Amino acid sequence: MNYTDQLNRTIFVTAPPRRIISLVPSQTELLVDLGLEEKIVGVTKFCIHPEGLKKRKAIIGGTKNYRLEVIESLKPDLIIGNKEENERAGIEELMGKYPVWMSDVYTLEDSLEMIGSLGEMLSANEKAQGIIRQLKRDFALPLSRKGTSIYVIWKDPIMVAGADTFINEMLDFAGFENLIRTPRYPQVSEEELVEVNPEYLLLSSEPFPFKETHIKYFQSFLPNTKIILVDGEIFSWYGSRLLKAKAYCESI
The CATH code that applies to domain 2-138 is 3.40.50.1980
Within the chain, which residue ranges are assigned CATH 3.40.50.1980? Answer: 2-138, 147-251
| Bridge partners for 187 per DSSP | 159
Q: What does pTM read for this prediction?
A: 0.95
Based on the number of CB atoms within 10 Å of its own CB, is 252 exposed (0-12), middle (13-18) or buried (19 or more)? middle
Do 177 and 187 meet the contact criterion of CB atoms below 8 Å apart? no
CB neighbours of 85 closer than 8 A, spacing ≥ 6? 23, 24, 63
Per-residue pLDDT of the chain (252 residues; tens, 9 = 90+): 999 999 999 999 987 899 999 999 999 999 999 999 999 999 999 999 999 999 999 999 999 999 999 999 999 999 999 999 999 999 999 999 999 999 999 999 999 999 999 999 999 999 999 999 999 999 999 899 999 999 999 999 999 999 999 999 999 999 999 999 999 999 999 999 999 999 999 999 999 999 999 999 999 999 999 999 999 999 999 999 999 999 999 999
- For the CA atoms of 252, 150, 167, 139, the dihedral, rounded to the nearest 10 degrees, stands at 40
Indicate the CATH number of 147-251 among 3.30.420.40, 3.30.750.24, 3.40.50.1980, 3.30.70.2190.
Answer: 3.40.50.1980
Spatial distance between the Cα atoms of 10 and 2, rounded to a whole number of angstroms: 6
Report the distance separating Cα 189 and Cα 193, nearest Å: 6
